[in-house]
Chain A
């Protein structure tokens, strides 16, 4: 763990504006899907150049995305009932002329459900599994580009959004150990008590 005190160190957990979400859902969804989504906590780490936000995606958003990309309904329902989809938003919040990179390598991230920390399931594993199951190429392409890349480097102002899929059922509580590299310094933070979206 680095001993140097970072210029900014803010960890927060806050509520998504559920009212806004419900308002949008009420406008565009038929009655079957109008039940209000459960409150969803987002998890945010701001430290040095890094801004990392994790937010569980509500099931209807997951359904909408995958059905909109042409995925078969059984696959989408399986994903909703057995998966746990998060939005990961990572950015380098330094301002120019700062030229130091922020690097992320998800192969170093670890998840703990019950026992010890384990490596996170990454997009390569999902893509290989879905290819074996006969998923068509357009859907695999969509999945690949919608899922956060395993490694990425960000310079001042850069940011990326992507999905992160965990193989856990709705409502699962877990801890996540996240790592990144800020210039030449390795950083680690543990997010405890995170939760998959529940019905």
Chain B
């Protein structure tokens, strides 16, 4: 039964890839981030995969790329490798990639991160109440918070987070 369910889950992840619509996703991913109105980002306190509490405020002074996602969402999965690459290169330059998983267990998210070799910070919004306070209607949605804690940019749908144009936008916030 477990094998059957695992197979079905894999099918869910793979079937959308057979759709011609996805072939255009690569172009979409290079689109620049959309400027927001610099409203203060809602703070939160959520558990990470180690059970530790993480707040948005603790990252004040850095650029925080807050990515709302779920493991079942194909575009979310598509952008994860580029998020990891951006994290590896820019974490020491003041940019934080922070994933906010919605409505899933730590076991499921941990397995997903391990399967894809991801180690950027992720927190769990199990009841989606934190996400409800943010300008998020679908997944993935990403909001970039500037060093002063203001919402500076956002993207709906996957992006290539290590794209030179996007990195330039992020670095421009310092």
Q: Which A positions have Cβ atoms within 8 angstroms of B? A: 14, 16-17, 20-21, 24-25, 28-30, 42, 44, 53, 55, 58, 60-61, 63-65, 67-69, 87, 89, 91, 95-96, 137-138, 141-142, 144-146, 148-149, 151-152, 154-162
Contact = CB atoms under 8 A, between A and B. Distances in A.
B99 interface: no
Contact of B12 (A20, A64, A96): A64
Nearest to A151: B137
Given A159-B75, A161-B73, 12 more contacts: A16-B18, A17-B18, A28-B8, A61-B12, A63-B8, A145-B70, A145-B138, A154-B156, A157-B31, A157-B157, A158-B155, A160-B137
A166 to B, nearest CB: 19
Contacts of A55: 19, 21
B171 interface: no
Contacts of B145: none
Main SS of the interface on chain A? Answer: mixed
Contacts of B12: 61, 64-65, 68
Given A64-B8, A144-B128, A158 B31 contact: yes
Interface in B101-140: 102-103, 126-128, 137-139
Interface in B63-105: 70, 72-75, 102-103
A148 B34 contact: no
Size class of B's contact patch?
35 or more
Contact of A61 (B11, B137, B159): B11
Most interface-central of B4, B32, B73, B138 (chain A CB within 10 A):
B138
Contacts of B28: 91, 157, 159
Interface string B1-36: 000110111111011101111000000101110100
